[in-house]
Structure 1
Amino acid sequence: MITRPLPYSPYQPRTRESASTSTEPGLIPFVTQREGEVAAPDNLILQRSAAGQYRLCYQDEGPGDRDLRGVLWARCSFNPVDENRQPTGKPQWKLMHPYRQMVTMQAMRCQVCAEPARTPIGYFFLAGPHDIDTDRPPVLTSQPPVCAKHVRAAIRLCPHLRRDTTVFLTLSAPLYGVTGVLYGYGENGMYVVARPDSPLPYGHPNLSTLLASQLVRRLSSFRVVGLDELGDTVRQAT
């Protein structure tokens, strides 16, 4: 997993005693971007190989700028953390911090508390209206999983999920790819040439010039849990 020293280390393990509960006032999902966390200077360049292929890079690139499969990641600053090693600052509810989204999705940790999301009956994933079309495979999501303890809290807290939430319970969610923007050269130099509507799967030839912002997983062997049965299902998972 990508690691960086504080204040750029997005995940810090906490004890169960210090973890927030769904009833704790002021609970804010770990992945939520905060005021003061802004896009860092990108210093982007396109390097051309001997074979004539372009590769997007940072001029001052370090090992923490790419994910485990070598895709370049959008930079975003990190606010200081609190006594529970959680991000500080007013939440920007409609945004997920790209790096915290990536590490929770990569390690399958809860998007609310950053603890392991696995339960005895599988993983919970949430989707807002029109996020996922189960009739058109593959079934993809950029929402990190949620632990059983925080399923209902995540629905309550997120404005996007609060409207007609779909709850998925899955035994498997392999990595699929990333979302982001594609760069290229034009008359005025380097610029964004495309913003793909769909995630690019790992192995796609365009990933070499993509700046990623969200990691995507594919849901398999899943069932949709109705909100009327959510309580019983959560109890089975704890």
Structure 2
Amino acid sequence: MPVKQRELRASWGPDGRPRLAYRTELPGDRDLQDVLWARCPQRRGPDGLPTGDPQWRDVHPARQRECMQRLLCQVCAQPARTPKGFVFLIAPGELKPGETTLLTAQPPVCRRHTRTAAALCPYLREDPTVLLVPAPRLHGVVGALYEPAGPRIRPAPVDLGSLPYGHPFLRWYLASQMVRRLHSFEVIELKELADGR
């Protein structure tokens, strides 16, 4: 469910400058870098984990943010660390020859759910590039830029894609996905994960 424009307003930030805000801001509406996030309802089971079938083409902002922030598996929401780092699945052809750094909004996967994610996610088309990343770094967010228009707020007529944390436009950005920078990675085969990597 998209955020309605009437829910947004301009407010004064802690630095005394105007920024995008909700009319009634709640704890958790901003990330640790003070960026405002799109609200979207979600159901959680008795175990505290999200319930329902994955909507692969309609990423849930809060679930994606939680998995990226805490480096949790995108399938089971449990820690995704392996003994040699984190496993990220990249769409076929996304990694160009010789490329050593890549930005991704795809959360990692645990070793147990690598094949499940590869089979179910249409983005990966069952033949992903598998990256073993020792230290994926937070980079920024994907979202939508807004601007003040008199007493109202409206979407800006430009798509900026992802912005790095620290970018001055983030004060007017409504984030929907967190982005990590992958570097110093090793490209491996899916079967290597089954062998204990």
Q: TM-score, normalised by structure 2?
A: 0.87
Q: Does 1:139 align with 2:102?
A: yes
Structure 2 counterpart of 1:161, from 124, 135, 149: 124
Q: Do 2:10 and 2:20's aligned partners in 1 also have CA atoms closer than 8 Å?
A: yes
Identity across matched positions, percent: 46
Equivalent residues in 2 for 1:80-159, closer than 5 Å: 80-81=44-45, 85-133=48-96, 135=98, 138-159=101-122
Per the TM alignment, residue 231 of structure 1 is displaced from its structure 2 partner at its CA by 1.1
The residue number in structure 2 matching 1:207 is 170
- Whether the 8 Å CA contact 2:21–2:36 is kept in 1: the answer is yes
Matches of 2:124 and 2:29, distance apart in 1: 30
Structure 2 CA distance, aligned partners of 1:107 and 1:137? 23
Matches within 5 A, 1:34-49: 38-39=1-2, 41=4, 43-47=7-11
1:3 aligns with none
Q: Secondary structure of 2:116's match?
A: helix
Q: Which residue is equivalent to 2:24?
A: 60
- Which residue does the alignment assign to 1:236? 196
The count of corresponding residues between Structure 1 and Structure 2 is 195
Deviation at 1:86, TM superposition (A): 3.9
Are 1:110 and 1:116, in contact at CA under 8 Å, matched by a contact in 2?
Answer: yes
1:159-207 residue CA offsets vs partner (Å, 9 max, x unmatched): 111254111111010100001011113479421113213x111110111
Distance 1:50 1:125 in 2: 36
Show CA shifts across 1:12-41 (max 9, x none). xxxxxxxxxxxxxxxxxxxxxxxxxx3355
Q: Report SS of the residue matched to 1:65.
A: coil
Structure 2: any 5+ residue segments left out of the alignment? none
Aligned partner of 1:74 in structure 2 is 38
Pair 162,72 (structure 1): closer, same or farther in 2 beyond 3 Å: same
Range with greater deviation from structure 2 (117-126 or 156-165):
156-165
What residue number does 2:153 align with? 190
Q: Which letter does structure 1 place at the counterpart of 2:190?
A: L
Give the alignment's Cα RMSD to 1 decimal: 2.5
The Cα shift of 1:129 comes to 3.5
Shift in alpha-carbon separation, 1:200–1:152, aligned structure 2, 3 A: same
- Would the aligned equivalents of 2:119 and 2:125 in 1 still touch at CA under 8 Å? yes
Q: CA deviation at 1:95?
A: 1.8
Give the structure 1 partner of residue 186 of structure 2. 223
From the superposition, tell whether residues 132 and 47 of structure 1 become closer, same or farther in structure 2 (CA, over 3 Å).
farther
Task: State the shift of 1:51 in Å.
Answer: 8.6
1:166 maps to a residue whose letter is: T
Shift of the 153–186 alpha-carbon distance from structure 1 to 2, 3 Å rule, reads same
- Residue 183 of structure 2 aligns to a residue whose secondary structure is strand
Q: 1:88, 1:124 → 2: CA distance? A: 23
